[in-house]
Amino acid sequence: MAVAEGAVIDPAAVFPDKREVWIELGFGGGEHLAAQAEAHPDVGIIGTELFLNGIGSLLRHVRDRQLDNVRIADTDSFKLVSALAPASVARVFLLFPDPWPKVRHHRRRFVRTETLDLLARLLKDGGEFRFATDHTEYCTWALARIVRHPDFVWNAEGPADWRERPADWPETRYEQRARAAGRKPVFLSFSRRPRG
């Protein structure tokens, strides 16, 4: 799907017959997005990716599993999150985003206050933001920004809640590679606080 400059996208109009809409930013090979779409046929999922091979991979999943609830925005994630209507999305997935490890590149990291403001705007009250990373320093950076953001609350009650991937959170290709390289991913879930 196209995201025109300055457009406002109402996800309910994109998926008029679905109970709610989720988005996945930078879906890579699309294995998580496809698994979620297959497990939740009553939900519409919009995914962003810039990498053409990744888009091709998700299209193969969509064809093989005959999914009717997936839309692909082959555009920058920032463009999609800026365009989505307020309080219109129930879940956001950001799985293993590029960590931009060099200090001079930190401003390119997806998790920063301006983008958290955009996610808080598009999420419905009580909506969920799921974030995974295998990069310890990016994890610390992101957590510091999310927990001090007034609109988000971290759902973890103990270490198992972030060290172990929940059963309804399918593995991605990038996670497999991280584990094979000996890195330990974290799985963070946040809720959007109800608007006052």
Ligand X SMILES: C[S@@+](CC[C@H](N)C(=O)[O-])C[C@H]1O[C@@H](n2cnc3c(N)ncnc32)[C@H](O)[C@@H]1O
Q: Alpha-carbon torsion 154, 193, 174, 78, what sign?
A: negative
Single residue of 47, 54, 127, 185 touching ligand X by CB under 6 A? 54
Interaction between residue 27 and ligand X (CB under 6 A): yes
Largest CA distance in the chain: 45
Single residue of 36, 69, 77, 82 touching ligand X by CB under 6 A? 77
**Residue 172 CB coordination number (10 Å):** 24
CB-side neighbour CA atoms (13 Å) of 130: 23
Active site residue 42: no
What string of DSSP letters covers 12-77?
A: HHHSTTSSEEEEEES-TT-HHHHHHHHH-TTEEEEEE---HHHHHHHHHHHHHHT-SSEEEE-S-H
Interaction between residue 1 and ligand X (CB under 6 A): no
Interaction between residue 172 and ligand X (CB under 6 A): yes
CA–CA distance, 182 with 168 (Å, rounded to integer):
23
Give the number of residues in contact with ligand X, rule: CB under 6 A: 19
Interaction between residue 82 and ligand X (CB under 6 A): no
Closer residue to ligand X (CB): 17 or 181: 181
Angle at 192 between CA 2 and CA 36, to 5 degrees: 55
Single residue of 51, 68, 147, 166 touching ligand X by CB under 6 A? 51
Interaction between residue 98 and ligand X (CB under 6 A): yes
Per CB under 6 A, which region of 35-43, 44-52, 158-166, 180-188 contacts ligand X?
Answer: 44-52
Write down the catalytic residue from 10, 42, 98, 125.
Answer: 98
Interaction between residue 95 and ligand X (CB under 6 A): yes
Per CB under 6 A, residues contacting ligand X are 26-29, 48-51, 54, 76-77, 95-98, 172-175
- Positions annotated as catalytic residues are 98
